[in-house]
């Protein structure tokens, strides 16, 4: 896809997921449904972020390459339905681990 596509809807969830819903055919999105998205996520949080109905069945994958300004590795969420009306591309927050000063270990050369 050469020119940018305007999302039908875009928003950020309270958990920090940046969501963009597109009304495009799934084949237009470079998705790999055998890959896991980058960042911190759970199946439930991604489905909730996409605002899709779980009873219809949902598929989750990752972008194989950058798409419409989203980085490769972003989550791709779609309905497992013949008429997939929307594809959600979700940028997941990165999981950071902070170490308290008391937990740090230092070494020095003799």
What per-residue confidence (pLDDT) applies to 47? Answer: 92
Per-residue pLDDT tens over the stretch 67-100: 999 999 999 999 866 666 679 999 987 743 333 4
d(CA 40, CA 2): 30
Is 71 part of any domain? yes
Pairing of strands 58-63, 31-32: antiparallel
Expressed as residue numbers, the domain containing 49 is 9-103
pTM across the whole model = 0.79
Picking from 73, 74, 76, 81, the residue whose alpha carbon sits closest to that of residue 28 is 76
Over its C-alpha atoms, the chain yields an Rg (Å, rounded) of: 17
Q: Look at residue 110 and tell me if it is in a domain.
A: no
Q: For residue 56, what pLDDT is reported?
A: 78
- The answer to whether residue 64 is domain-embedded is yes
**44 domain residue, yes or no:** yes
Structural domain contains residue 3: no
Number of domains in the chain: 1
Specify if 22 maps to a domain. Answer: yes
* Element containing residue 20 per DSSP (H, E): strand 18-22
CA separation, residue 40 to residues 7, 9, 69, 91, 97 (Å): 23, 22, 20, 10, 11
In tens, the pLDDT along 12-54 reads 999 888 999 998 888 889 999 999 898 888 899 999 999 888 8
Examine residue 108 and state whether it is found in any structural domain, yes or no.
no
Residue 34 lies in a domain: yes
């Amino acid at each position: 896809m050469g020119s940018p596509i305007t999302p039908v809807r875009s928003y950020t969830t309270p958990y920090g997921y940046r969501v963009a819903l597109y009304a495009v055919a799934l084949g237009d999105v470079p998705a790999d449904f055998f890959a896991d998205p980058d960042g911190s996520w759970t199946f439930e949080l991604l489905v909730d972020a996409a605002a899709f109905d779980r009873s219809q069945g949902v598929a989750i994958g990752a972008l194989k390459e950058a798409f419409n300004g989203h980085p490769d590795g972003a989550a791709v969420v779609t309905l497992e339905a013949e008429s997939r009306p929307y594809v959600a591309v979700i940028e997941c927050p990165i999981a950071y681990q902070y170490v308290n000063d008391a937990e740090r270990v230092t070494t020095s050369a003799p």
